[in-house]
Amino acid sequence: MAEEERTSLGELKIANEVVGIIAGLAATEVEGVAGMSGGIAGGIAEMLGRKNLSKGVKVEVGEHEAAVDLFIIVNYGISIPEVARNIQNNVKQAIEGMTGLDVVEVNIHVLGVHFPQPVQEEQPGDAPPARVK
Amino acid sequence: MAVLDRIILSVVIVVLLVMGVLAAATTFGNNMLLDWLIRIQTVKLDGFLLVLIMLLLALYLVLMLVNELKTDKRAIVSQTPLGDVRINIQTISGLVYQAVRAIEGVKDAKVSIGDVQPLQLNLKLQLLPDYQIPQLAETVQASIRDYLQQIVGIEVAQVNVTVFGVLSSQEPKTS
């Protein structure tokens, strides 16, 4: 499916994939988002060496409207509703700005939390003293 | 997807491809597969090895599938003007686990989720000694409630706490 539009000089088509990539990039640049989650199919595609920019994104594009589903992993310690709101706004703005489609829905699916690696006890630069001098 | 899953899946794909190619070659009159099949009648080790590998691969795939089916698909849904926000159960229990572990006096925790709406949490705690348990339990309940309110923005209806153990002091007594 692609969005089609008649301009005075011809028709304009925007592929679903494009909307997906715009949404994926807009979502990942939001602070607090650790990454997108592609599921098993996405995992296989990635394994075969295909870098997928629209990973974890599902879009439905109609004639003038678009709905987006985003599957995300959030960082530990942030407020999820706040991040969700930021993503929704950012994605909506990005798609509407770049394609002119009306974004009616941005559904967020939080699939997991990314915990930072356990902090090392020793501070950097606090290396164990040399045993021999 | 876990790294091991990917490796196993790629092995399965390679095995299937090789078998497909061999089967195709056999159809076109190539005897490579047949020769080899006859060979493993005499060299039994090859045959057993192949069977073992295939069984293990099949077993792993089945386990993967079972794991996938067993995963709790429930989620906490909140509606916003711009669409739904769904936070799945694993996220919630992961967050709760980290939050509980950060509370002083708690050694270990198991988190399970009963009802979703309203949210009902069951915590099994292993505590450190020398803490007053009812007080500690209350602290846990209150901080989880506040934490989820702040981070996830949901009300918790119930936090059930079960204490299943108190860790004995590690240091030897010197009395």
Q: Which residues contact B129 (CB under 8 A, 6 or more apart)?
A: B166, B167, B168, B169
Residue A85 belongs to a domain: yes
Total domain count, chain B: 2
Half-sphere exposure (CA, 13 Å, Cβ side) for A82? 9
User: What is the residue range of A31's domain?
Assistant: 16-114
Same domain for B14 and B44? yes
Q: Determine the Cα–Cα distance for residues B30 and B22; give it in Å rounded to an integer.
A: 8
Q: What mean pLDDT is predicted for residues A51-65?
A: 84
**Which two tokens mark B19?**
């078998």
Instruction: Quick: pLDDT tens for A3-36.
Output: 566 677 888 778 888 999 999 999 999 999 988 8
- B151 with A78: Cβ contact below 8 A: yes
Residue A1 belongs to a domain: no
Residue A128 belongs to a domain: no
pLDDT (0 to 100) of residue A129: 60
Residue B135 belongs to a domain: yes
Instruction: Quick: pLDDT tens for B60-102.
Output: 989 988 988 887 778 888 888 889 999 988 888 888 998 999 8
Helix (H) or strand (E) holding B109: strand B106-113
User: Which residues are registered as beta bridge partners of A66?
Assistant: A61, A103
> Is A113 touching B (CB cutoff 8 A)?
yes
Considering B70, B97, B119, which residue would you say is the last residue of a domain? Answer: B70
User: What is the residue range of B24's domain?
Assistant: 3-70
Residue A66 belongs to a domain: yes
Residue A6 belongs to a domain: no
pLDDT (0 to 100) of residue A67: 93
Nearest to A112 among B5, B94, B152 (CB): B94
Mutate to test the interface with B, among A96, A108, A114, A119 (most CBs of B within 10 A): A108
Instruction: Quick: pLDDT tens for B1-55.
Output: 567 787 888 888 898 999 899 999 988 888 888 888 888 788 778 788 888 988 9
Residue B174 belongs to a domain: no
Same domain for B34 and B47? yes
Same domain for B80 and B65? no
Mean pLDDT of chain A: 81
- B94 with A115: Cβ contact below 8 A: yes
pTM of the model: 0.70
Q: Determine the Cα–Cα distance for residues B6 and A45; give it in Å rounded to an integer.
A: 10
- A84 with B84: Cβ contact below 8 A: no
CATH number at residue B125: 3.30.70.1350
The ipTM (two decimal places) reads 0.71
